[in-house]
């Protein structure tokens, strides 16, 4: 049986049950850690269990539950941090205060590379497309691997819900636009891994999501 080019596992971390994702290139066993918000021993155990070598850290956005310990992990493993978009500087600037407020561990950091719409990120032999998807935060990005029909979408879209837009710099209209113009074109069969909760498919959410489903948006 042929190995798929990409494999992934979700590691729920922090008291907010944020989905840190570890994914890797099966040809090279090079991996990326997406959104290491905390619980580094749990993340490291998953890395060891998968038998992979971490090549970089990727961030969908700069809320503390998604990135609080990114800088710590990057230093420990000796890898770069890529993402999110620079519009999330606002959230990185207040990271340590937000960690105290939410009872999270973490420290300030600067990404090695900011990402923008149309960029790509590489992990081993894999190339993932980057889309800027503002709304939940202004600099939110998602990662898409078309050959695997897989996307890692942070807090843009959930099974049966969408990301909150009651934070500073959030924009509910921008969030809907991001979903419709960036996520829906990925195709109904695409599986997405959200920042919280279970995975779903684009097709399922278009049919049933009470916030951005096709029938809901047609009636706006």
Question: In terms of C-beta density within 10 A (0-12 exposed, 13-18 middle, 19 or more buried), how is residue 41 classed?
Answer: exposed
For the chain, the domains span 6-219
- Cα four-point dihedral sign 209, 215, 218, 220: negative
Give pLDDT, residue 220: 74
The model's pLDDT over 129-141, given as tens digits with 9 standing for 90+, comes to 999 999 999 999 9
CA atoms within 13 A on the CB side of 72: 17
Residues in a beta bridge with 9: 22
Question: In terms of C-beta density within 10 A (0-12 exposed, 13-18 middle, 19 or more buried), how is residue 65 classed?
Answer: buried
**Max CA pair span of the chain:** 50
Average pLDDT, the chain: 97
Tell how strand 53-58 and strand 81-82 pair up.
parallel
- The tokens of 196 are what? 């919280």
Query: What percent of the chain stands above pLDDT 90?
Result: 98
Give pLDDT, residue 90: 97
The model's pLDDT over 44-96, given as tens digits with 9 standing for 90+, comes to 999 999 999 999 999 999 999 999 999 999 999 999 999 999 999 999 999 99
Sheet strand arrangement including 6-13: 6-13, 18-25, 30-34, 53-58, 81-82
- pLDDT at residue 155 is higher than 70: yes
Give pLDDT, residue 81: 98
- The tokens of 140 are what? 């939110």
Give pLDDT, residue 2: 78
Question: In terms of C-beta density within 10 A (0-12 exposed, 13-18 middle, 19 or more buried), how is residue 150 classed?
Answer: buried
* Tokens 């993932």 belong to residue: 128
Give pLDDT, residue 1: 67
Whole-number Å distance between alpha carbons of 97 and 146? 37
CB atoms within 10 A of CB 217: 15
Give pLDDT, residue 128: 98
Regarding the domain delimited by 6-219, which CATH topology (the fold level of the hierarchy) does it fall under? Answer: Metallo-beta-lactamase; Chain A (3.60.15)
SS3 82: strand
């Amino acid at each position: 049986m042929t190995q798929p080019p990409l494999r992934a596992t979700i590691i729920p971390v922090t008291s907010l049950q944020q989905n840190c994702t570890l994914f890797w290139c099966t040809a090279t066993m090079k991996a990326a850690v997406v959104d290491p918000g905390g619980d580094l021993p749990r993340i490291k155990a998953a890395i060891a269990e998968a038998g992979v070598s971490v090549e970089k850290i990727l961030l969908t956005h700069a809320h503390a539950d998604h990135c609080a310990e990114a800088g710590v992990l990057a230093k420990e493993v000796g890898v770069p941090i890529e993402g999110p978009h620079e519009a999330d500087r606002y959230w990185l600037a207040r990271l340590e205060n937000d960690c105290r407020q939410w009872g999270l561990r973490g420290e300030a950091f600067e990404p090695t590379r900011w990402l923008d719409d149309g960029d790509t990120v590489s992990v081993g032999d894999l190339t993932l497309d980057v889309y800027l998807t503002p709304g939940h935060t202004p600099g939110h990005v998602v990662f898409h691997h078309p050959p695997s029909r897989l996307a890692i979408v942070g807090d843009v879209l959930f099974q049966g819900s969408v990301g909150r837009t009651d934070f500073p710099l959030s924009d509910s209209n921008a969030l809907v636009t991001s979903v419709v113009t960036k996520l829906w074109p990925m195709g109904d069969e695409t599986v997405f891994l959200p920042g919280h909760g279970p995975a779903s498919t684009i097709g399922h959410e278009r049919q049933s999501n009470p916030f951005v489903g096709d029938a809901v948006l047609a009636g706006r």
